[in-house]
Amino acid sequence: MPELPEVETVRRGLAPILENTRIAKACAHAPKLRVDIPKDFNQRLSGALVTRLTRRSKYILMECEDGLVAILHLGMSGRITIHTAGSEHPARAKHDHITLLTENGDLVVFNDARRFGLLVFSSVSEIDQHALIKDIGPEPLGNGFNSAHLAAGLAKRKSPIKTSLLDQKLVAGLGNIYVCEALWRVGIAPTRLANTLSAEEIEALVPIIRTILEEAIAAGGSTLKDYAQVSGELGYFQHSFKAYGREGEPCIAKGCQATIERIVQSNRSTFYCPNCQK
């Protein structure tokens, strides 16, 4: 789930709870996720004033007044749940690894069954040079992501376009689902080698990637409106994908009679329409 739109949805859900708010008590309950949680996690965040929540690619950055930045990644199975002040705060559940209790009495819980997520510290001044951040490509919704950048990046790649778009150095934030969706919508076969795409195809791909991500963020936003009334769980909203997960089902493109197929590329499933995507 957590590709750029889901991470952005989580960030937007957390922002009103955490920004300009002091953390009363921070607790890390697991020694490590993908990497070690800082030993001084509880000490450094308990009492800290959160000034901003931002996002870079699939990382959520929690900035504190003293310049500390907590870098959070949800991995494959990471979830954030908010239990607002006044609601019952449940006992810690299996795989609840990190909890933040705010001065207002809101409780933020990070749960990650597979522990592919991570939380590490950096600082405002060093964040851009942090090993996890520095090589990431442009944000797909920003000006740095354009057909010139994409064309230059694809020209030197001999791997399939599907695999190339998953490379975070080329463009930030795309994952398996939205790459499949973008290639379906633009009509490009996932197996095409990156350096064989025409200028026109690249030109078409850029706005399609943007649109798909923006639509997904909007869909997440629409579920955010009532998250507090429902479950408090952020980031796992219902989606109707056009290609992803639809193996054996009919392609829904107008006039297309073909069936969505699944192949494996670089050990990841790819879903595509063999008729629409050339």
Measured CA distances, 138 to 53, 142, 248, 273 (Å): 19, 7, 35, 28
| Helix (H), strand (E) at residue 8 | helix 4-18
Q: Using alpha carbons, list the distances in angstroms from residue 72 to 107, 117, 207, 249.
A: 17, 7, 28, 36
Tell me which of 2, 137, 138, 140 binds DNA, using CB under 7 A. 2
Q: Which is nearer to DNA, 23 or 216 (CB)?
A: 216
Is 140 an annotated catalytic residue? Answer: no
CB of 85 to DNA, least distance (A): 29
Contact mark string toward DNA, 116..155, x via CB under 7 A: x---------------x-----------------------
Please name which of 93, 96, 99, 91 lies closest in space to residue 41, comparing C-alpha atoms.
Answer: 99
What phi-psi label fits residue 255: left (phi over 0), alpha (psi between -120 and 50 degrees) or beta?
left
From the list 21, 163, 223, 277, which residue makes contact with DNA (rule: CB under 7 A)?
A: 163
Is residue 113 involved in binding DNA (CB under 7 A)? yes
Binding status of residue 177 toward DNA by CB under 7 A: yes
Q: Output 22 or 115, the one with its CB closest to DNA.
A: 115
Give residues in contact with DNA (CB under 7 A).
Answer: 1-3, 6, 34, 57-58, 73, 75-77, 94-95, 113-116, 132, 156-160, 163-164, 166, 168, 175-177, 194, 236, 239, 266-269
